[in-house]
Amino acid sequence: MTKLIAISGSLRKQSYNTGLIDAMLGLGLESIEIEKITLNDIPLYNGDTEKAGIPKAVTVIQQKIQAADGVLLVTPEYNHSIPGVLKNALDWLSRPKPDPTFAGLPLAILGATPGGFGTISSQAHWLQPLQFLKTRLWTEQQLLISGIHHKANEAGQLTDAETLQRLKEFIEGFAAFAVARPRR
């Protein structure tokens, strides 16, 4: 069984990107287990807080990442860049040292937006921090979902059959990549 962690970069209850994770969970993927991670309990990074101890919400996610075969960053795009909540989470998750959590970690980026270019700018902006963290970024496929508001219902759940198929192929491709050269 391939174990993947999917982290939503949005805090909104009816987030399209969290809806993508929910769609992943409903794909019926054989031999792939996906766990949805939300970031609601992670505080803003503050060195003073860190001195008092890494927050429990952070250490729980760190442990889940370390036990997983790979991570999916499901990122919205805000102002043609990365969402602050997801960047904040990565800043916390890389504490006190990034290597145990991220070095060699198979990681893929995908995302959805109502805009016309998918999340291309956000995904491009993730390259620098992910390279610094020494992740093993999967680049064989991209999943940039534009016009998501036409492909999902009012609750943010993906309903478009073609997009669901693309999502399934993306997850299967990434899972194969993640287990082909495990980081351990």
Global confidence as pTM: 0.95
Q: How confident is the model at residue 181 (pLDDT cuts 50, 70, 90)?
A: confident
Given this model, what pLDDT does residue 69 score? 97
The CA-atom distances, in angstroms, between 128 and each of 131, 134, 155 are 5, 10, 33
Per CATH, is 2-170 categorized as 2.40.160.10?
Answer: no
d(C-alpha 69, C-alpha 144), whole Å: 23
Structure tokens at 44: 């803003």
Torsion angle of the four alpha carbons 182, 174, 56, 49, in this order, in degrees rounded to the nearest 10? 100
Tally of helices (H runs) and strands (E runs) in the chain: 7, 6
pLDDT over 90 at 5, yes or no: yes
Tell me the pLDDT tens digit for each residue of 159-176. Answer: 999 999 999 999 999 999
Q: What is the mean pLDDT of residues 90-111?
A: 93
d(C-alpha 73, C-alpha 104), whole Å: 15
